């Protein structure tokens, strides 16, 4: 009886945003369900950790904003060619940046990350399922992406040790290899 009582479903009614997204949890899980997105987000965090301040916080601030802009473009129907290639290339190039410990000027790093963020945002913006609360869905989506960045930065903390640097470069190689795989899949 207790179990039945707990599991008994009831309606949730909202008022401001109607009929567009299915809530925070769905939004939160959506970015985690795509391995291409996960790899690229981890790479952003890892690269930020390698570059240190101010890139370590500038990249995770810039990415969600530009990604949301890409999502908005997708939502209003602005077409973006080669989305799958862009996403695959993001994992490939960001993984390569981690592998080679690339240290471009901050503006170049931010522009590169921002450029790929448009593709990720556009893809996920057009994939969003119909549901109920657009704001909660959007917040879940953005927070999950931010958590992936934070995970990458957390893992990147091993950069201070020599073995950690080697480990990060190996992780970058793995991400770049994943990018090659996704690119091959997109081309075939």
In this chain, which of 9, 79, 105, 162 binds other proteins, going by CB under 8 A?
9
DSSP 61-111: HHHHHHHHHHHHHHHTT---TTHHHHHHHHHHHHHHHHHTT----HHHHHH
Q: Is 135 in the site for other proteins (CB under 8 A)?
A: yes
In this chain, which of 125, 156, 178, 179 binds other proteins, going by CB under 8 A?
125
CA distance 86 to 93: 10
CA distance 51 to 152: 13
Shortest distance in whole angstroms from residue 98 CB to other proteins: 20
Shortest distance in whole angstroms from residue 35 CB to other proteins: 22
Q: Is 12 in the site for other proteins (CB under 8 A)?
A: yes
DSSP state for residue 21 in the 8-state scheme: -
CB 65 within 8 A of CB 113: no
Q: Which of residues 72-111 bind other proteins (CB under 8 A)?
A: 72-77
Q: Which residues in this chain contact other proteins in the complex, by CB under 8 A?
A: 2, 5-6, 8-21, 57, 60-62, 64-65, 67-69, 71-77, 125, 133-136, 138-139, 141-143, 146
């Amino acid at each position: 009886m207790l179990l039945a009582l707990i599991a008994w479903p009831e309606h949730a009614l909202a008022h401001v945003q109607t009929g567009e997204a299915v809530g925070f949890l769905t939004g939160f899980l959506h970015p985690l369900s795509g391995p291409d997105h996960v790899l690229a987000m981890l790479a952003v965090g890892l690269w930020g950790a390698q570059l240190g301040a101010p890139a370590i916080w500038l990249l995770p601030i810039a990415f969600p904003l530009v990604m949301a802009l890409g999502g908005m473009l997708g939502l209003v129907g602005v077409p973006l060619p080669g989305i799958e290639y862009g996403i695959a290339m993001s994992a490939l190039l960001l993984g390569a940046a981690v592998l080679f410990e690339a240290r471009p000027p901050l503006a170049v790093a931010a522009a590169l990350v921002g450029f790929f963020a448009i593709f990720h945002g556009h893809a996920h913006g057009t994939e969003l399922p119909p549901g109920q609360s657009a704001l909660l869905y959007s917040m879940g989506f953005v927070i999950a992406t931010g958590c992936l960045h934070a995970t990458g930065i957390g893992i990147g903390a091993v950069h201070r040790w020599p073995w950690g640097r080697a480990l990060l470069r190996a992780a970058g190689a793995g991400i770049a290899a994943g990018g090659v795989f996704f690119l091959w899949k997109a081309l075939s």
